[in-house]
Chain A
Amino acid sequence: MDINEFIVNFADQFDDTPAENLTPETVFHDLDEYSSIIALSIIAMIDEEYGVALTGNEMKSAVTIQDLFNTVQAKVA
């Protein structure tokens, strides 16, 4: 898994947040556009792209994009 590719996939779930604004250190829960539907989209993207089923609690406990990436990477078979 590659963090840059992950950020591109992550950014794709937003409409008004440019990918260049996102870094591994971004605290994504604080993004203006972040919402429950975007959270569900990110969970669905991770399921589709990486074959990983993320729980709501795992999504919530990840603070930065890097945290989320690490959680997904740990669950990739």
Chain B
Amino acid sequence: MEYNPFALTGKTILVTGAAGGIGRATSVECARLGAKLILTDINEAGLVETLGLLEGEGHQYLVANLTSQEALDELVAALPQLDGFVSNAGVTKPTPVKFINKEDLERIMGINTFAPIYLTQRLLKKKKFNQNASLVFTVSVGGVYTTAPGNAMYGASKGALQVFVRNVALEGAPRIRCNSVNPGMVNTNLAGRSYSDEDKARDMETYPMKRYGEPRDVALAIVYLLSDASSWVTGHSLIIDGGKTLY
């Protein structure tokens, strides 16, 4: 048996936002390290694609709209006991403050903040977490450590989520752990096409590592927090940003 303190053998892990980006990369790495995955997202085609990338047996997906209270109840009722939970689903729409409107704000807060809060609440209430389970939330450096033009709604949603993470860590100890990863800009479809290639190239220069992150860069940090290697780590926010916040 090879020594691997980051192994996830025998762990059952729920991943939200698993149809692409960081959620997909996390699912792939967790499966490679021996976990059994339950993937969820609103995008079924993406879930099927992610499922096809997973090593090992026994993985499944459940399509769910996490902004619906009924869908959350159904999802939680369908889940087995969990050793890990990766709350990763997120959206943004870069908008200056003076253009903020109810529809966009409620959508962003609904998916980035309220859905993870309600889902965590139900998972706890229904006692879905095994002893020593690990909860990991994809927050961001945005809102928590950095500001950027047009990022007020997203930043507010992630700032609130960060505070929630710390509170779950406190209430959950010593039985379960709860941490966040806080990525800088990662090459996913999150920001859509709001920024031009030229703007992106210029922005990339503000990262000391001179590149944006890849989903796997974040996935491997999530693996660390899910694994028993981090068993004395709780309430932590792990910045993964190519040095962006050094400035």
Q: A residues near B, CB below 8 A? A: 35-37, 40-41, 43-45, 47-48, 55-57, 59-60
On chain A, the residues within 8 Å of B199 by CB distance are 36, 56, 60
- Residue from A36, A45, A47 having most chain B Cβ neighbours under 10 A: A36
B102 at the interface (CB under 8 A from A): no
Given contacts A36-B149, A56-B199, A60-B199, contact A41 B99 (CB under 8 A): yes
Closest-by-CB residue of A relative to B197 is A57
- Partner of B95 from A36, A40, A55, A57 at Cβ < 8 Å: A40
Query: Can you sample 7 A-B contacts with CB below 8 Å?
Result: A36-B199, A37-B150, A40-B150, A44-B99, A56-B193, A56-B195, A60-B197
On chain A, the residues within 8 Å of B149 by CB distance are 35-37, 40
- Residue from B99, B101, B197 having most chain A Cβ neighbours under 10 A: B99
| Proximity bits, B174-199, A CB within 8 Å = 1, else 0 | 00000000000000000001111111
Inter-chain contact total with CB atoms closer than 8 Å: 42
Closest-by-CB residue of A relative to B100 is A44
On chain A, the residues within 8 Å of B193 by CB distance are 55-57
Q: In angstroms, how far is the closest chain B Cβ from the Cβ of A68?
A: 13
Q: Provide the main secondary structure of the chain B interface.
A: loop
What are the 7 tightest A-B residue pairs by CB atom distance, in nearest-first order? A56-B196, A44-B99, A60-B196, A55-B193, A37-B149, A56-B195, A40-B150
B94 at the interface (CB under 8 A from A): yes
- Give the distance in Å from the alpha carbon of A45 to the alpha carbon of B194 in the complex: 14
Let me know if B96 and A41 touch, CB within 8 A. Answer: yes
Let me know if A40 and B94 touch, CB within 8 A. Answer: yes
- Give the distance in Å from the alpha carbon of A47 to the alpha carbon of B192 in the complex: 15
- Give the distance in Å from the alpha carbon of A48 to the alpha carbon of B98 in the complex: 12
- Residue from A37, A56, A60 having most chain B Cβ neighbours under 10 A: A56
On chain A, the residues within 8 Å of B194 by CB distance are 40, 43, 55-56
Q: In angstroms, how far is the closest chain A Cβ from the Cβ of B172?
A: 39
- In chain B, positions 184-220 with a C-beta closer than 8 Å to chain A are 193-200
Let me know if A57 and B99 touch, CB within 8 A. Answer: no
- Give the distance in Å from the alpha carbon of A44 to the alpha carbon of B99 in the complex: 7
- Give the distance in Å from the alpha carbon of A41 to the alpha carbon of B150 in the complex: 8
- Give the distance in Å from the alpha carbon of A57 to the alpha carbon of B194 in the complex: 8
Let me know if A59 and B196 touch, CB within 8 A. Answer: yes
Let me know if A44 and B96 touch, CB within 8 A. Answer: yes
Q: In angstroms, how far is the closest chain B Cβ from the Cβ of A18?
A: 19
- Give the distance in Å from the alpha carbon of A20 to the alpha carbon of B94 in the complex: 29
- Give the distance in Å from the alpha carbon of A47 to the alpha carbon of B103 in the complex: 13
Q: In angstroms, how far is the closest chain B Cβ from the Cβ of A22?
A: 19
Q: In angstroms, how far is the closest chain A Cβ from the Cβ of B1?
A: 50
Closest-by-CB residue of B relative to A36 is B149
On chain A, the residues within 8 Å of B96 by CB distance are 37, 40-41, 44
Q: In angstroms, how far is the closest chain A Cβ from the Cβ of B198?
A: 6
- Give the distance in Å from the alpha carbon of A44 to the alpha carbon of B96 in the complex: 8
On chain B, the residues within 8 Å of A48 by CB distance are 99, 101
Q: In angstroms, how far is the closest chain A Cβ from the Cβ of B152?
A: 11
